[in-house]
Chains A and B, each alone.
Chain A
């Protein structure tokens, strides 16, 4: 299968850019902002201020590029590694941080932000995107649903059920596999014997596209086509974005046990931000001060979100009983009273 690439590794354009210079600068700023968040996330975890954190460095183009193809009212269903995509679609930094701090309010984006809280289980969420898009079509809306997942998720049975349902009912669903090479320590080669993940689309009877996932123009182009097809009632698409997770699986993982520094270094040379920066520079749309200002403003914005999240009082001891049902049943109210047995 041919790999769709528009922006070469050196930043030169080898295809048609899907965006004008202003939009390219906006996408660059989004990727830089996301990276600032990601690095702060790791630092906060090391300081003990966040629970386990899943880095996405290296995958900014795959996430930002996919979501840039969506309309604000479309649905997004992602995973624990998709903070950049969720933020790009309106999920506030504060909520993302709260989730990692271990606070259920982190799962609640503001009204109108159609992003489900991140799925921690691998694979089960893809079928939710099928149901969401399907429901929108039944309601007469043209909203679509995009779901992000990793190469490891394609080993799960629910990958099959989601792809099969989407194709059989021609639901408006865009599947974006961020093939980042690893599912914790298990390489992509141990997840599937297929030459590509994108080719699996053939078996389900849907469109499949293989893109350079570190090329934001290629990802955006593929996603736009898929979104248009979905919105027009032409069915789902599977996009495989070839990328790499530069960091470990999470802050609890030691990636040095299973992969080589040479591998990581080789992928660093294909960095999505470096690539777009090179392009913008040659197009006269980049200077160091501008990037510095983006970083500065992102840092300020995220620090403010950290302060806001850390400043939020934890739930009182018995609040867990309030979230299980619309109205806690009597048996749960009885348990709430027993919870009072716990000293102060």
Chain B
């Protein structure tokens, strides 16, 4: 057990996986000698040599080659540097990775992990702050995971590497170094497909994931200071989504606010709202609220804060549900 930030916890997970299984291979641009743009693979090249591979900058090539490796029996973990750079690889993900099990009726499978930093909030350049996770969650045949904390990040990544199906593993850029917590040493897993109830409450449910979970937590603090009892749910897995936990909470509190950083239309917040109205409509005391980014390109540093939902916006939306 040691205090690690999210980047260090992921590094630890990769180290554990590489040490435990010769089939695990890391590949991506700068993952080797440099240790990755966010240093998630720092030191792994020295410790695991030829299984940590620096590649040309070619996202389709990285994912396509990892896909071939996975079919041949390896357990590749591909890194793409930013979600905004993942679009060239999207063709491989949607046209091949997500389909091979179906296309071959289970004869061929591609158990690979595609790690991609996502979200903004660090004042990065254009294309570096994307939060387009919904397009991956919309893609059949892959799983999409987005941890919010260091301990979850390690356990979920080890689950993803062991998973028999391909996993797109989204890492919240804003959280990489923002928080530290106790992370168990060695191998452990956090199950894919299970949301976590971060705190229990009775009046309103906040559902979030990734970097937004911390803002939702801050909003919950504000609301609780006013005597509102908040239930906070961390989705952790975006696809398949844990409907039971969301719906169970909606039935209990009668009020739901979905908090995501991504563009508003057709986002995971839209999906959360749909699931809640399908399965908990008669428990609802107010319409489901969505707190989201906007249907705009993510603004650059000086105005980015107008895009990313603030705790104040979350509080306002929660209060609207409470007023009803």
Q: Which residues of A contact B (CB under 8 A)?
A: 75, 77, 104-105, 107-109, 111, 116-117, 119, 121, 124-125, 127-136, 138-139, 145, 157-158, 161-162, 164-165, 168-169, 320, 323-326, 329-332, 334
- Pick the 3 closest A-B CB pairs, nearest first: A131-B68, A127-B64, A161-B61
Q: Say how far A119's CB is from chain B's closest CB, in angstroms.
A: 8
Query: Is the CB–CB distance between A330 and B107 below 8 Å?
Result: no
A325-B141 in contact given A109-B107, A127-B60 (Cβ < 8 Å)? yes
Query: Is the CB–CB distance between A329 and B240 below 8 Å?
Result: yes
Among A145, A165, A168, A169, residue most surrounded by chain B Cβ atoms (within 10 Å): A165
Residues of B within 8 A of A164 (CB): 56, 58, 61
Query: Is the CB–CB distance between A108 and B240 below 8 Å?
Result: no
Task: Flag the segment in B40-48, B94-102, B282-290 that touches A.
Answer: B94-102
Residues of A within 8 A of B50 (CB): 138
Q: Which one of A117, A119, A130, A334 contacts B108 once the chains associate, using CB atoms below 8 Å?
A: A117
**Considering the chains assembled together, what is the distance between the CA atoms of A146 and B74 in angstroms?**
19
In the complex, whether B177 has a CB less than 8 A from a CB of chain A is no
Query: Is the CB–CB distance between A124 and B96 below 8 Å?
Result: yes
In the complex, whether B118 has a CB less than 8 A from a CB of chain A is no
Query: Is the CB–CB distance between B61 and A127 below 8 Å?
Result: yes
Residues of A within 8 A of B56 (CB): 161, 164-165, 168
Residues of A within 8 A of B25 (CB): 135, 138
Residues of B within 8 A of A145 (CB): 68
Residues of B within 8 A of A134 (CB): 65, 68-69
A158-B55 in contact given A127-B65, A145-B68, A325-B141 (Cβ < 8 Å)? no
Query: Is the CB–CB distance between A330 and B60 below 8 Å?
Result: no
A129-B106 in contact given A165-B61, A323-B101, A334-B243 (Cβ < 8 Å)? no
A323-B102 in contact given A124-B92, A329-B240 (Cβ < 8 Å)? yes
Residues of A within 8 A of B15 (CB): none
Q: Say how far B15's CB is from chain A's closest CB, in angstroms.
A: 19
**Considering the chains assembled together, what is the distance between the CA atoms of A129 and B68 in angstroms?**
6
In the complex, whether B319 has a CB less than 8 A from a CB of chain A is no
CB within 8 Å: A-B pair count = 147
**Considering the chains assembled together, what is the distance between the CA atoms of A109 and B106 in angstroms?**
11
In the complex, whether B193 has a CB less than 8 A from a CB of chain A is yes
Q: Say how far A252's CB is from chain B's closest CB, in angstroms.
A: 21
Segment 31-73 of B: residues with Cβ below 8 Å from A: 50-51, 53, 55-56, 58, 60-61, 64-73
Segment 80-125 of B: residues with Cβ below 8 Å from A: 88, 91-92, 95-96, 100-109
Residues of B within 8 A of A133 (CB): 68
Query: Is the CB–CB distance between B101 and A158 below 8 Å?
Result: no
Residues of A within 8 A of B242 (CB): 330
A158-B240 in contact given A107-B107, A124-B91 (Cβ < 8 Å)? no
Query: Is the CB–CB distance between A331 and B240 below 8 Å?
Result: yes
Q: Which one of B70, B95, B239 contacts A121 once the chains associate, using CB atoms below 8 Å?
A: B95
| Beta-carbon nearest neighbor of A157 in chain B | B60
Query: Is the CB–CB distance between B72 and A135 below 8 Å?
Result: yes
Query: Is the CB–CB distance between B95 and A132 below 8 Å?
Result: no
A104-B73 in contact given A130-B65, A134-B68, A330-B240 (Cβ < 8 Å)? no
**Considering the chains assembled together, what is the distance between the CA atoms of A108 and B101 in angstroms?**
10
Query: Is the CB–CB distance between A161 and B106 below 8 Å?
Result: no
In the complex, whether B244 has a CB less than 8 A from a CB of chain A is yes
Name 9 A/B residue pairs within 8 A (Cβ), A-sorted.
A127-B67, A132-B69, A139-B72, A158-B61, A158-B91, A164-B58, A323-B105, A324-B102, A325-B165
| Beta-carbon nearest neighbor of B58 in chain A | A161
Q: Which one of B64, B140, B141, B193 contacts A162 once the chains associate, using CB atoms below 8 Å?
A: B64
Query: Is the CB–CB distance between A131 and B107 below 8 Å?
Result: no
A326-B71 in contact given A162-B61, A162-B64, A164-B61 (Cβ < 8 Å)? no
In the complex, whether B164 has a CB less than 8 A from a CB of chain A is yes
| Beta-carbon nearest neighbor of B25 in chain A | A138
Query: Is the CB–CB distance between B73 and A135 below 8 Å?
Result: yes
In the complex, whether B241 has a CB less than 8 A from a CB of chain A is yes
Residues of A within 8 A of B100 (CB): 116-117
Among B96, B105, B106, B165, residue most surrounded by chain A Cβ atoms (within 10 Å): B105
Query: Is the CB–CB distance between A117 and B101 below 8 Å?
Result: no
**Considering the chains assembled together, what is the distance between the CA atoms of A330 and B141 in angstroms?**
14
Residues of A within 8 A of B104 (CB): 104, 107-108, 116-117
Q: Which one of A116, A124, A131, A161 contacts B66 once the chains associate, using CB atoms below 8 Å?
A: A131
Residues of B within 8 A of A119 (CB): 96
Residues of B within 8 A of A127 (CB): 60-61, 64-65, 67-68, 92
Residues of B within 8 A of A138 (CB): 25, 50-51, 69, 74
**Considering the chains assembled together, what is the distance between the CA atoms of A194 and B173 in angstroms?**
43
